[in-house]
Amino acid sequence: MKDLTAAIPATDLRSAVLQHLKYSLGKDAEHATITDWRQALSFAIRDRIVDPWFASTRETYARQGKRVFYLSMEFLIGRLLEDAVVNLGLLDEAHETFEGFGLDVRTVMADEPDAALGNGGLGRLAACFLESMSTLGCPAYGYGIRYEHGLFRQGFRDGRQVEAPEDWLSELHAWEFERPEATIPVGFGGEVRELGGRMVWTPDERVIAQATDTPIIGWHGKWANTLRLWSARPETVFDLDRFNAGDYFGAAEAENTARTISRVLYPDDTTEEGKRLRLKQEFFFTAASLRDILRRFDTEYDDLSLLPSKVAIQLNDTHPAIAGPELVRLLHDERGMDLPRAIETARGCLGYTNHTLLPEALERWSEGLMGSLLPRHLQLIERIDAAHAEAHPDRRVTMLGDGDVHMGPLAFSMAHKVNGVSGLHTELMKETVFAELHRLHPERIVNQTNGVTPRRWMVSANPRLSALITEAIGIGWADDLERLAELEPMAEDAGFLERFDAIKRANKVDLAGNLAGRDLPVDPDAMFDVQIKRIHEYKRQHLNVLETIALWQEMRDDPTGDWTPRVKIFGGKAAPGYVFAKEIIHLINAVGDVINADPATNHLLRVAYPANYNVSLAERLIPAAELSQQISTAGKEASGTGNMKFALNGALTIGTLDGANVEIRELVGAENFFLFGMTASEVVARREMHDHARAAIEADPRLARALDAIRSGTFGDRFEAITENVSGQDYFLVSSDFSDYWRASREVDAAWRDRAAWNRMAVLNTARSGWFSSDRTIRGYMRDIWNAEALSIG
Ligand SMILES: *Cc1c(COP(=O)(O)O)cnc(C)c1O
């Protein structure tokens, strides 16, 4: 076919922006708002992505490459414009172009609302993976849900979290291509009958999954993949008979019911919501994705036994685990493959990533719910369970038990590889949640330690540091991050350390300006000590608050003492139904109010808690951080990825031996990491001890005094839920780890005051963290799980 696109002349960015402003948006440059300019730039940039995107698809077809399909309930993408500009190498041109318009391109890019289709680490991981798969040329699709409302917007009222709906789609979203032709029916409920020797499922409710595609461009525009998100639509848009009869609400009922499925993101990534809607969401996007995958496969191949060699499907946690039985159903019921072969074929395609060992976060669905919503799937799960039992007669685990379907064991048994997300987490998985399954399938569990994309978390977020690195070791490190090791010798170079320090200082000044705009004045000469992540008991923000109170009390005792000034920065949202986490938020704000207002100490210690932590705020906070708080109870954080972003940006970590902290400490060196706290096995042992919290409090007068201050109403409310918890059951061992945390924090204080030594440690953190690129992680998945090959469009 003739290449019609060649007929369109390539234009410079300036003309492209002006053209889009006028012809796509219908705006006149004189009256255009920042948002108009941003939309025009987005269209102009999107145009530059389309050709490499098409070329990537053509290359995948031409080479008959294996495709990877990454199924995830969450994609916490953040802003797309800056990522695309940076990856296409157009930042300088964009900067000049907008200077010509009298605008700062960074301000224009910062106008974009965050696409917050995720809760936290799990969703952000999926977003980093998409970018890395494109950078590496791994032919891949992300599949998820196009939530109308992403993660709620957080505000504070009287120090308490208030939630407002997020509406990222209230304005034009320039990145998407709607695919009204790509629609797939998805059914629920109904019944199963045998018809001519086959089981036929006839659902009694149907919705349509409609696709919207967003191209994801890799570094240097070398490759582009697709993020395909599904929206739910009614099968029949409108009941005209009811409308004509005057029943206007009734006429739109089907539409409302269907649209509910893609209306909102479930606002929690760790606690199980036993909701029918959640299961519907999970099946909705999984079923639509699998049909889409098979449809594409059918256009290329006519032999289903090739499926595992051409298709890799990765399940990001158990949320899409219904993919196992659904793929078996498609192959067996619809395509006539015999059941054992269908199970084998499905397993050959599927991989499962486990993200948590927290028992309350392991998904289960009651058989009643599963049977009423997905009757055929329940039957198939019984068959899969029976087949597994037959093959392993001495087994003690089941996918079905206590009236529930257990999605973890189901995902495990339907996947050819199961991975954990850090070395420690993978080992604990083998010993705890999947101990029995691991014994039966010792080859199945593999580790793939998480990573983060350096394009967003260094090049975009920290342009000053990136420029210094490029000056020091040349270009080419951003997609070959272990080259950061070449910075090691500069840790001994006083001039380099000073420049590194000046960059951190400039980033701190920028952040201080931003915080001042939020009425949170902070002094850039103090240490910036940052804990940003979802608020959760196991992440122990309350341990940090208790240490803050104790420090404040000592400062008050001796205000002229030789203190290291600190700004304690917190960020994070609590799930709306998670009462204890919301109490922690209230406590942080209440403590901040009192400490920030204390004239005796507020030049030494301040608390800043900017509301509505999200990807864009993380991009501002992390480059300015000097201390990274990674203080979860050992054994509870599967990996963490925030910890990696900080280390790469030259913050030192104070942390426990948990998740990927273990690997960070190994790589950056124990002498460049502030370790404290019990190990995972000590945690287990300590919990057995009678009255461990009371013993810890009795042994540490600082902790006792901090708790007393809270109880006595120093911070207004008395926060009984928190004080009673940490002095009572204290499942997360806040009290037991307090003394050692205090010790490590004071070592941090001392270390920070020796600027040269601190900067040396910081540089070594950056230099030795290159392994935490998500490129390394994706190469691991490609090699150990997907057996997929990288392609290129030259
Ligand atoms: C990286 C990131 C997370 C994950 O942080 P952890 O500290 O690993 O829990 C959560 N939310 C956002 C916005 C992030 O960028």
User: Tokens 């074929």 belong to which residue?
Assistant: 345
Looking at residues 446-452, what average pLDDT do you find?
98
Which pLDDT tens digit goes with each residue over 713-740?
Answer: 999 999 999 999 999 999 999 999 999 9
Under DSSP, is residue 157 helix (H, G, I), strand (E, B) or coil?
Answer: strand
736, 584 contact by CB (below 8 A):
no
CATH topology classification for 460-770: Rossmann fold (3.40.50)
Which pLDDT tens digit goes with each residue over 645-685?
Answer: 999 999 999 999 999 999 999 999 999 999 999 999 999 99
| Active-site residue, from 280, 355, 582, 760 | 355
529, 569 contact by CB (below 8 A):
yes
690 is known as an active-site residue? no
Closest CA to 141 of 62, 88, 232, 216: 216
340, 406 contact by CB (below 8 A):
no
66 is known as an active-site residue? no
Confidence of residue 181 (pLDDT cuts 50, 70, 90): confident
CA dihedral 274, 275, 280, 285 (to 10 degrees): -70
441 is known as an active-site residue? no
Cα separation, 223 vs 220, whole angstroms: 8
Which pLDDT score is estimated for 241?
82
- Smallest CA separation from ligand 1 atom 9, residue: 533
Which pLDDT tens digit goes with each residue over 210-267?
Answer: 999 999 999 999 999 999 999 999 987 777 888 788 888 777 777 888 889 999 998 6
Which pLDDT score is estimated for 405?
96
Confidence of residue 269 (pLDDT cuts 50, 70, 90): low
357, 426 contact by CB (below 8 A):
no
Q: Which of 450, 460, 462, 615 to mutate to test the pocket of ligand 1 (most atoms within 8 A of CB)?
A: 615
Answer whether 64-78+114-151+166-171+217-228+268-450+778-786 and 460-770 agree in fold: yes
The alpha-helical segments, DSSP class H, found in 64-149 are 81-87, 91-100, 105-109, 121-136
712: tokens are 């006595």
Q: Measured from the CB, is residue 614 less than 6 Å from ligand 1?
A: yes
pLDDT at residue 748 tops 60 = yes
Q: Measured from the CB, is residue 641 less than 6 Å from ligand 1?
A: yes
Q: Measured from the CB, is residue 121 less than 6 Å from ligand 1?
A: yes
Structure letter (DSSP) for residue 421: S
CA 357 to ligand 1 centroid distance, Å: 18
CA 632 to ligand 1 centroid distance, Å: 14
645 is known as an active-site residue? yes
Cα separation, 434 vs 356, whole angstroms: 12
CA 643 to ligand 1 centroid distance, Å: 8
- Smallest CA separation from ligand 1 atom 6, residue: 642
Give the 3-state secondary structure of 241-310. Answer: HHHHCCCHHHHCHHHHHHHHCCCECCCCCCCCCCCHHHHHHHHHHHHHHHHHHHHHHHHHCCCHHHHHHH
Which pLDDT score is estimated for 482?
98
Q: Measured from the CB, is residue 118 less than 6 Å from ligand 1?
A: no
Closest CA to 159 of 617, 611, 577: 611
The alpha-helical segments, DSSP class H, found in 689-733 are 692-699, 701-711, 720-727
Closest CA to 35 of 48, 25, 46: 25
Which pLDDT score is estimated for 7?
43
Q: Which of 119, 268, 533, 639 to mutate to test the pocket of ligand 1 (most atoms within 8 A of CB)?
A: 533
758, 752 contact by CB (below 8 A):
yes
Cα separation, 316 vs 768, whole angstroms: 28
410: tokens are 């189901």
Measured from the CA of 645, which atom of ligand 1 is nearest?
1
Single-letter residue type at 495: G
60 is known as an active-site residue? no
- What is the separation of C-alpha 641 from the centre of its chain, rounded to a whole number of angstroms? 8
Looking at residues 743-761, what average pLDDT do you find?
98
Q: Which of 153, 422, 532 to mutate to test the pocket of ligand 1 (most atoms within 8 A of CB)?
A: 532
Closest CA to 659 of 635, 631, 675: 635
586 is known as an active-site residue? no
621, 530 contact by CB (below 8 A):
yes
Q: Measured from the CB, is residue 642 less than 6 Å from ligand 1?
A: yes
Cα separation, 9 vs 16, whole angstroms: 11
Confidence of residue 359 (pLDDT cuts 50, 70, 90): confident
Looking at residues 348-374, what average pLDDT do you find?
92
pLDDT at residue 140 tops 60 = yes
Closest CA to 86 of 507, 620, 463, 451: 463
Report the chain's mean pLDDT, rounded to a whole number: 95
Rg (CA), the chain: 27
Which pLDDT score is estimated for 273?
58
Which pLDDT tens digit goes with each residue over 598-647?
Answer: 999 999 999 999 999 999 999 999 999 999 999 999 999 999 999 999 99
Give me the half-sphere count of Cα atoms (radius 13 Å) on the Cβ side of residue 393: 0
Q: What angle do CA 36, 115, 316 make, to 5 degrees?
A: 155
Single-letter residue type at 275: K
Domain boundaries, the chain: 1-62+79-112, 64-78+114-151+166-171+217-228+268-450+778-786, 460-770
- What is the separation of C-alpha 355 from the centre of its chain, rounded to a whole number of angstroms? 11
Under DSSP, is residue 69 helix (H, G, I), strand (E, B) or coil?
Answer: strand
* CA 75 to each of CA 87, 173, 275, 282: distance values in angstroms, whole numbers, following the listed order: 19, 16, 21, 14
User: Tokens 């963290």 belong to which residue?
Assistant: 769
**Within 10 A of 731 (CB to CB), how many other CB atoms are there?**
14
139: tokens are 């032919």
pLDDT at residue 386 tops 70 = yes
Measured from the CA of 539, which atom of ligand 1 is nearest?
9
Pick 586 or 173 by higher pLDDT: 586
Closest CA to 500 of 771, 770, 766, 751: 766
Sorted by sequence, the CB contacts under 8 Å of residue 573 that are 6+ apart come out as 151, 152, 154, 161, 534, 535, 612, 613
Looking at residues 298-309, what average pLDDT do you find?
97
Domain 64-78+114-151+166-171+217-228+268-450+778-786 has CATH 3.40.980.10: no
Q: Measured from the CB, is residue 618 less than 6 Å from ligand 1?
A: yes
Which pLDDT score is estimated for 270?
55
**What are the contacts of 587-591 at 24+ separation with CB within 8 A?**
587/542, 587/545, 587/710, 587/715, 587/717, 587/719, 587/722, 588/541, 588/545, 589/156, 589/159, 589/160, 590/159, 590/715, 590/716, 590/717, 590/719, 591/545, 591/548, 591/549, 591/715
- Smallest CA separation from ligand 1 atom 1, residue: 642
- Residue 717, φ and ψ in degrees, nearest 5: -55, 155
